[in-house]
C-alpha cells in the first residue's frame, strides 16, 4: 500500500530498542483518510473469507480495525487489557506480551460477543513477535470460532511474528513490511527484495 509506505517514510521515527514510532498518524494522532484506505484494503483482501466479526486488541488496533469492520459491514470486537466493572459474566482470556511496552497483559473478551458460528478477522496495528495476534487467536479458539485471516498494518519482518503465524497456517496480510530499523533507518521489505 503505497500511501502507507510513504507515510511511514515521511513521519515514522526509529527510537531506542528497535521501536518504530508512528504516533503522528496511527496510534496517538490518527489520520482518518489513511485509516479509511487501510480499512478498504483489508476489506478487499478478506471479503471472500466471509468474516462475521473483526477482532482487535485495545487500543492502537482500534482505528484500522474499525474502518475494516465498517467496510465489511460487520461488528468490531475489542479485546480489553483490563476487565472493566461493566464486563459482567463469563469471559474468554489469554496472556499477551507487549514488545513495545515490555509487559504482559491478560486480555479479555465477553463470551456474549463471540461464539462457534463466528468467522473472525483479526486486525492489529503492528506485528513483531506475534504474541498479540496469538493471544487473539487463543480467544477465538476458546469461543469455538474460526480465524479467517490476520491483517496487520505494519509488520516488522525482521522479527519472528510473521513467520510464526504463517507457519501455523494463518493467512497474514501485512500492508507494510519493515525489513530493518538498523542505524535508525527504516528499510522496507519491498525495497530490500527489489533492490
Residue stretches of the annotated binding site for 5-phospho-alpha-D-ribose 1-diphosphate: 128-132
Cell numbers given for 168: 501455523
Grid cell at residue 60: 492502537
Measured over the CA atoms of residue 95, residue 160, residue 165 and residue 55, the dihedral's sign is: positive
How far is 96 from 70, CA to CA, in rounded Å?
Answer: 26
- Which residues are documented as binding site? 20, 27, 128-132, 156
Q: Which residues are annotated as a binding site for xanthine?
A: 20, 27, 156
Tell me the three cell numbers of residue 122: 483479526
Report which secondary-structure segment, H or E, holds 96: strand 91-98
Residue-wise DSSP of 104-154:
EEEEEEETTS--TT-EEEEEEEEESSSHHHHHHHHHHHHHT-EEEEEEEEE
Amino acid at each position: 500500500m503505497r500511501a502507507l509506505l510513504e507515510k511511514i517514510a515521511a513521519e515514522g521515527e526509529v527510537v531506542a530498542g528497535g521501536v518504530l514510532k508512528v504516533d503522528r498518524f496511527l496510534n496517538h494522532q490518527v489520520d482518518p483518510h489513511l485509516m479509511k484506505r487501510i480499512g478498504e484494503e483489508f476489506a478487499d483482501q478478506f471479503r471472500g473469507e466471509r468474516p462475521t466479526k473483526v477482532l482487535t486488541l485495545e487500543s492502537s488496533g482500534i482505528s484500522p480495525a474499525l474502518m475494516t469492520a465498517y467496510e465489511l459491514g460487520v461488528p468490531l470486537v475489542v479485546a480489553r487489557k483490563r476487565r472493566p466493572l461493566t464486563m459482567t459474566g463469563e469471559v474468554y482470556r489469554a496472556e499477551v506480551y507487549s514488545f513495545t511496552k515490555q509487559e504482559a497483559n491478560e486480555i479479555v473478551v465477553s463470551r456474549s460477543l463471540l461464539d462457534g458460528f463466528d468467522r473472525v478477522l483479526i486486525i492489529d496495528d503492528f506485528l513483531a513477535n506475534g504474541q498479540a495476534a496469538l493471544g487473539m487467536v487463543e480467544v477465538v479458539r476458546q469461543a469455538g470460532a474460526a480465524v479467517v485471516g490476520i491483517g496487520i498494518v505494519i509488520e516488522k519482518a525482521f522479527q519472528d511474528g510473521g513467520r510464526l503465524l504463517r507457519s501455523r497456517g494463518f493467512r497474514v496480510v501485512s500492508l507494510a513490511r519493515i525489513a530493518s530499523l538498523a542505524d535508525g533507518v527504516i528499510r522496507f521489505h519491498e525495497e530490500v527484495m527489489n533492490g
